Structure 1
Amino acid sequence: MARAEALRSQPSPRLPDSIQKILALPAQDGRVFAPADIRVEPSDVFVASFPKCGTTWMQQIVHGLRTGGSMDFEEISLVIPWLEFPQLSGVDVGGPQVARPRAFKSHLRWEVIPKGGRYLYITRAPADALVSFYHFLEGWMFEPGAYSVADIYEGVFLNELLFGNYWTHLRSWWQVRERDDVLLMTYEDLIEDLEGAVRRIGGFMGLDVDDALAAKVTHQASFGFMHAHQGQFDDHPTTVALNALAGLPLEVRTTKVRTGRVGDSARLPASIHAALEAAWKEDIEGPLGIPSYARLRQLLNESRDCASD
């Protein structure tokens, strides 16, 4: 009785009230960041991306293709585990999985991801990635409305976090895009032709994708379907564990299925668009000679068309 009263009298956990506290959370300072040391099999598929660029979407496609469209899972990270945070999900990351090929989620750059498997990398226009990043953190890592998109851009998005920043991440994977064991795709390509992307991903995984399977996986990877089943795509096993570790409210959740649109960044302030363009010019156009994200997509699609001729 006395213990219960003592617990009730303790202050309730609060969300971080400063950018510094967000950056100091355990997942950011390395206390739980420990990529699993797995024995990579040649058929293993690594779903890789910078955060908020379509990772969960790609996980759903990969799992649907390898299982014939099974939705028999509590949350997608329990059947396609996150390589970097094995402590949080409680999954034996290197163990057997419910289907083959095995698949793993990762936000690691090419230089540090385990080698020997096959790698599906998805990228996204940086402005849209920023907006998604902001809404992912809002209400979980900070009180709704406490910070503007500009605050998160300057304080978090530009930082070299555990995975680097958006631009270092993209450069890392762009340099290996022509390898036979790497398939680099864009979020916008999936929006424009989801079934075509599903078929291409299946072929890259070494699977036979007939019309029925392509149609089923495409339907289950649609925004409407994933939104209706968003509890299976909210990363709650990891979120709950991180909340407990970081002293955040246990009931706080986030979502990974928000709008499924391209162009949500149109309402960003002109100053943020200008800052993003300046960062692209310095970090992508400078070293790679690619003047815009639109041109990067064009080059990627041209190389794909040449490979299919």
Structure 2
Amino acid sequence: MTTQHTGSEPGSAAGGTEEISGPALSGRARFWRRFRRQWPAQIALGYLIVIVAVAVCAPLLATYSPFDQNLNGVLARPSGEHWLGTDDLGRDVYSRLLYAARISLLAAAQAVAVSLVLGVLPGLLAGYAGKKTDAVIMRITDAVMSFPPLILAIAVVGVLGPSLTNAMFVIGIIFAPRFLRLVRGSVLSLRAETFIEASRSIGTPRWRIIQRHVLPNVLSPLVVQISLASALAMLAEASLSFLGLGVQPPEASWGAMIERGFRYTAAAPWMTVFPGLLIALTVLAFNVLGDGLRDSLGREVRKAS
């Protein structure tokens, strides 16, 4: 049975000490007790659920095909026919926003997935394998982190060629050190815990200790980091698409829609205002949710992150 050490008192919570009468609450019960008090995080979670649902149901909700052009109706103002207006090719902005949500969210998920794959395992090795392995991995990590993320992404994507897959793969590599350092710090703090020492003393293999005891205890800070990294990945995708290095026409992401509408800001502000607003709200929601999860999961997560 997996032993999970939380490092916090049953009644601890963000911003003070909770008084709990009766038997001590389980870790899951403590989390939900705290999270119910995090109303900004609940609103953020609800917003993200709606955005994901809208992206999934885009074909059902769209009033037009996102690719249909109408050169007789270019730059049309928002109306009953086109709720959010049309772009410079007469395409319905509302329909393109729905389909662009799919690409923006999938791009952020792809980047975070790459970061997890490249960050978690090396982080476990760096924290548990020993000083030499730790030194090598951390030197590589420091080298990657020494470059400004967006500048490095632009340089690499410029060499590989502009595409959403290349852009998000590079962003995932650049963000991987964030996960690596988080996991390494969590593992280093866990190595000295009594239940880890007890497992070593009875001859439990190292891989088994990592699987049964270490991994479950690094999941909480990882969940928080995933939320925060998703916000950064979405901003990075929007920036690269704005520069023409991300999604390519006729597909659209929110960042690509801003780039398309930038030249028509005065004549058709709706081309940039609506995708810009969605980016801002979604990034804010990811950050608020991450902060709420950090406070709800306990002091050990705040220390790790």
TM-score by length of 2: 0.24
Q: Which has the larger radius of gyration?
A: 2
Between structures 1 and 2, the one with greater helix share: 2
* Bigger relative CO (Cα 8 Å, ≥ 6 apart): 2
